[in-house]
Amino acid sequence: MKAGVIGIGAALPEEIVTNADLVKHLDTSDEWIVRRTGIRERRLLNGSRTLADLASEACTMALKDAGREAKDIDRVMVCSLTPDRMMPGLAPAVAQQIGCDLAGAVDLNAACAGFLYALDQAAALVESGRANLVVVCGAEALSRITDHSDRGTAILFADGAGAVVVAAADIEHGLSTFELRSDGRHSDLLYAEIDERLLRMEGREVYRHAVARMVEATEAALQRASITTEDVDVFVAHQANARIIEAAARRLGVPEEKVVINVDTVANTSSASIPIALWQAEREGRLKSGHVVAMATFGAGFAWGAGIMSWKEHARVSA
């Protein structure tokens, strides 16, 4: 048996903040933001809902999509660097809200790389037989740790949640190979201090590392899966900046039409960005059962990685 993704969901806050809204209080322009990042608007949690509410909405949608019930879940993993409280983490509240409050529930923080780290762990739990059904959710309210007066970062970050359901299935590939890496020597290029609680970033340096490391990790994951870029149907990278994604895709040799970019409307939602992009790609008909998906991510730590999966392969097997 292999572990595969069998359901997906996402939830975005209602409040939309456009570049034009930011220009009212920041020394920037719509033209600069679009040209340097590709971002046009972002969604922000405005206090009417908690992040646990948003994460629960995404998980409930993913469970419904998977055709499974909450009582069957035995692990809930929520990745976040911006939980509602310093403790407890989000996962127990999410498990309770979605109706599986007796399931094991744990938070995982690997910054923007959290979702791929958690997905790898979910696959290991399922394939080793330690769990049957695992929900993996990336949920972030980065607006909580954004310095809204710093034009270098205030334009980039946003809030949202995305979730997948991972289960064992009699499939060929499923969640195939993951390459996960870190290098703590660069922690001062992207961080938020405990006291200040604001995200600080050396944008240009992070950019340079992001492209190179995501390309290396994706190449390694492809090689370990014994496939090449030509076998990839869809490339979903962490949605930090359209230029980073395009540069990585170019170096990998992935053609434009296979690259998913939704940073224009959701901006950078850290660990939620990959599941939200997968959800959107499927809704737009770009992601279909059996498609080979290459995922890549990079963030604070530095922690980064890549993963190869066959999308909802169980649907093909049972069809």
Strand-pair category, 259-260 with 234-237:
parallel
Nearest distance, CB of residue 193 and ligand ACO, angstroms: 15
Binding status of residue 290 toward ligand ACO by CB under 6 A: no
Residues between 46 and 105 with contacts to ligand ACO, criterion CB under 6 A: none
Binding status of residue 155 toward ligand ACO by CB under 6 A: yes
Q: Which residue is nearest to ligand ACO (CB)?
A: 203
Alpha-carbon torsion, ordered 17, 21, 25, 29, to 10 deg = 110
* 8 A C-beta contact, residue 266 and residue 43: yes
Q: Tell me, what DSSP letter sits at residue 240? A: S
User: How far is it, in rounded angstroms, from Cα 98 to Cα 53?
Assistant: 10
Q: How far is CA 80 from CA 51, 83, 256, in A?
A: 10, 6, 30
Of the pair 82, 176, the CB lying nearest ligand ACO is at 82
User: How far is it, in rounded angstroms, from Cα 41 to Cα 182?
Assistant: 31
Binding status of residue 131 toward ligand ACO by CB under 6 A: no
* Among 7, 9, 299, 305, contact with ligand ACO (rule: CB under 6 A): 299
Judged by CB under 6 A, the stretch of 123-131, 175-183, 199-207, 277-285 that binds ligand ACO is 199-207
Q: Which residues are catalytic?
A: 112, 238, 268
Number of H helices, E strands in the chain: 11, 14
* Among 32, 101, 198, 316, contact with ligand ACO (rule: CB under 6 A): 32
**Phi-psi category of residue 258: left, alpha or beta, with phi > 0 → left and psi -120 to 50 → alpha:** alpha
* Among 20, 88, 149, 152, contact with ligand ACO (rule: CB under 6 A): 152
Using CB under 6 A as the criterion, which residues of the chain lie in contact with ligand ACO when the complex forms?
A: 28, 32-33, 36-37, 111-112, 151-152, 155, 190, 203-204, 206-207, 210, 240-241, 244, 268, 270, 298-299
